[in-house]
Amino acid sequence: MSSNQHYSFFHSVEQSFDKAAKFTQWDPGILEQIKACNSVYQMRFPVKLDDGTIEVIEAYRVQHSQHKSPCKGGIRFSDEVNQDEVMALASLMTYKCAIVNVPFGGGKGGIKINPKKYSTYELEKITRRYTAELVKKNFIGPGIDVPAPDYGTGSREMAWIVDTYASLKPGEIDAAGCVTGKPVTQGGVRGRTEATGLGVYFGIREVCNMPDVMQKLGLTVGIKDKTVIVQGLGNVGYHSAKFFREGGAKVVALAEYEGAIYNPAGLNEDEVFQHRKKTGSILNFPGATNLAKNTDALELECDILIPAALENVINGENAPRVKAKIIGEAANGPCTPEADDVFAQKGILCVPDMYLNAGGVTVSYFEWLKNLSHVRYGRMEKRFTENMNTRILGQMEELTGKSVAGKDREFILHGPEEQDLVHSGLEETMITATREIMEIWKSNPEIPDMRTAAYVSAINKVATSYGELGIFP
């Protein structure tokens, strides 16, 4: 690419798609349809700012595919938003949902603003007007298109969206399902906050439980005692580190933008987080060594490297120095195509972002199901299960003459809460997706990497559902 101006993110997604499509047998027309963005809605609307001036806001919503309904994907608030970017992100959502068997088409939205430059009241007005514009054109609804948080937005914006939608659609019984990532009090689901980090852990743990894969990498089977390095101690990085540590791995280094720390005996992410809160930096953490540069952490000896901060952090320049055996792409796009080539040469396994960080959208699916069913997960079965478990345990204790006490007793008797069910649904989803991708990769030695295998998985599923719809008999 000669200049950044001509770079098209959407085109680069198309290129990755084409690379993978070669390994499938689908009709070229079907492949063309899967790649295309079905609907692009570009809008402008005015908003009166607090100082009385009127600003015209540029915004988008893209529905990439309706092979499953509704469409699903976040809304981004950023100065960088443009049509090409929203189209690319919408298409990635189609593939991501397909891989993890979440029955949605891909969508994405964006408002071209820097949210830091607006007051809360102005942001509320912009968000509500954007929602009203979507309603006017039938671009939002529990059966049409369901947004979620993305860069620059969170549960607060989702609460404004659901409230605007519900007020414009009186009597719509499923209105709460028009958006996900809502606060729990507004119809959100428990377990959403940690979902992406937990999904990363489940995906990598499954890879580590595959004896043939581990043998190739020269690693032992299982997550226990694996050394892990995490870049980024934000939502995804913090929770990834937490679940790896709780799973028996050792987090030996953590990197943030101000620096990186190393302790071969293992770091506790929460203690580091508290230290950062108190001192303003992760550096000088008791018992740990400061590294000279934050990027040095990416090049240390370890079994698993989790980039969970930004895109393009591992590239053609530093990839040759990466010593990890497994890279788990928790962030979106942390490794460049040049880095992929280096990994293939060096035999490093890169577990791709497109499915590894799908925990958020998977739990969004659970939230949407909860909204349509109008009942909290666990409400129907929790008490029943507890009563049943109490009787079973009682019988067993009577038969064996032994009794179970403490934490084990609590664990056996406990009936599932919403969060337990969400976590277990996520675990099932990530295990299944990991196995499906690995099967595809193993079935064709020509497929160069796991990323391409993941795309093949997505293409096969979307193409199959077009067949099921009878569109392409």
| Site membership for ligand NAD, residue 389 (CB under 6 A) | no
Going by DSSP bridges, is the β-strand pair 105-111/304-307 parallel, antiparallel, or unpaired? unpaired
Q: Nearer Cβ to ligand NAD, position 131 or 153?
A: 153
Q: What six digits make up the tokens of 377?
A: 């997960």
Question: Can you tell me which of 231, 263, 371, 434 binds ligand NAD, judged by CB under 6 A?
Answer: 231
- 3-class SS shares of the chain: helix, strand, coil, % to 5: 50, 15, 35
Task: Please list every residue from 245 through 264 that binds ligand NAD, using CB under 6 A.
Answer: 255-257
| Site membership for ligand NAD, residue 327 (CB under 6 A) | no
Task: Please list every residue from 188 through 227 that binds ligand NAD, using CB under 6 A.
Answer: 196
Catalytic status, residue 35: no
Q: Map tokens 């659970």 to a residue.
A: 366
Q: Which residue is nearest to ligand NAD (CB)?
A: 234
Please name the residues in contact with 326: beta carbons below 8 A apart, sequence gap of 6 or more: 204, 207, 208, 217, 219, 303, 304, 305, 348, 349, 350, 351
How far is it, in rounded angstroms, from Cα 353 to Cα 335?
Answer: 9
CB of 161 to ligand NAD, least distance (A): 17
Q: Nearer Cβ to ligand NAD, position 156 or 409?
A: 156
CB of 234 to ligand NAD, least distance (A): 2
| Site membership for ligand NAD, residue 437 (CB under 6 A) | no
How far is it, in rounded angstroms, from Cα 13 to Cα 454?
Answer: 13
Q: Nearer Cβ to ligand NAD, position 82 or 464?
A: 82
Q: Nearer Cβ to ligand NAD, position 38 or 281?
A: 281
CB of 312 to ligand NAD, least distance (A): 10
Which one, of 197, 198, 173, 205, lies nearest residue 187 by Cα? 173
CB of 255 to ligand NAD, least distance (A): 5
CB of 236 to ligand NAD, least distance (A): 3
Q: Nearer Cβ to ligand NAD, position 331 or 335?
A: 331
Question: Can you tell me which of 331, 350, 438, 463 binds ligand NAD, judged by CB under 6 A?
Answer: 331
In the three-class reduction of DSSP (H, G, I as helix; E, B as strand; rest coil), residue 388 is classed as helix
Residues near ligand NAD (CB under 6 A), total: 20
Contact 98, 461 (CB under 8 A): yes
Q: Nearer Cβ to ligand NAD, position 308 or 339?
A: 308
Instruction: Count CA within 13 A, CB hemisphere, residue 243.
Output: 20
| Site membership for ligand NAD, residue 36 (CB under 6 A) | no
Please name the residues in contact with 125: beta carbons below 8 A apart, sequence gap of 6 or more: 47, 48
Task: Please list every residue from 284 through 303 that binds ligand NAD, using CB under 6 A.
Answer: 294
Q: Nearer Cβ to ligand NAD, position 175 or 230?
A: 230
How far is it, in rounded angstroms, from Cα 186 to Cα 218?
Answer: 48
How far is it, in rounded angstroms, from Cα 14 to Cα 12?
Answer: 5
- Phi, psi of 244, rounded to the nearest 5 degrees: -65, -45
Which helix (H) or strand (E) element contains residue 287?
A: none
CB of 172 to ligand NAD, least distance (A): 27
| Site membership for ligand NAD, residue 232 (CB under 6 A) | yes
| Site membership for ligand NAD, residue 234 (CB under 6 A) | yes
Q: Nearer Cβ to ligand NAD, position 133 or 256?
A: 256
Among candidate residues 35, 108, 226, 461, the one labeled active-site is: 108
CB of 333 to ligand NAD, least distance (A): 7
The site string for ligand NAD over 154-193 (x = CB under 6 A, - otherwise) reads: ----------------------------------------
Helix residue ranges, H only, 323-381: 337-346, 353-356, 359-373
Helix residue ranges, H only, 247-349: 269-279, 337-346
Q: Nearer Cβ to ligand NAD, position 173 or 310?
A: 310
| Site membership for ligand NAD, residue 357 (CB under 6 A) | yes
Among the listed ranges 155-163, 183-191, 326-334, 366-374, the one in contact with ligand NAD (CB under 6 A) is 326-334
The site string for ligand NAD over 94-133 (x = CB under 6 A, - otherwise) reads: ----------------------------------------
CB of 293 to ligand NAD, least distance (A): 10
Helix residue ranges, H only, 59-104: 83-99
Q: What six digits make up the tokens of 118?
A: 């607006």
| Site membership for ligand NAD, residue 235 (CB under 6 A) | yes
Write out 106-171 in H/E/C secondary structure: EEEEEECCCHHHCCHHHHHHHHHHHHHHHHHCCCCECCCEEEEECCCCCHHHHHHHHHHHHHHCCC
Which one, of 283, 328, 293, lies nearest residue 307 by Cα? 328
What residue ranges bind ligand NAD (CB under 6 A)?
196, 231-237, 255-257, 294, 308-310, 330-332, 357, 360
Residues serving a catalytic function are 108
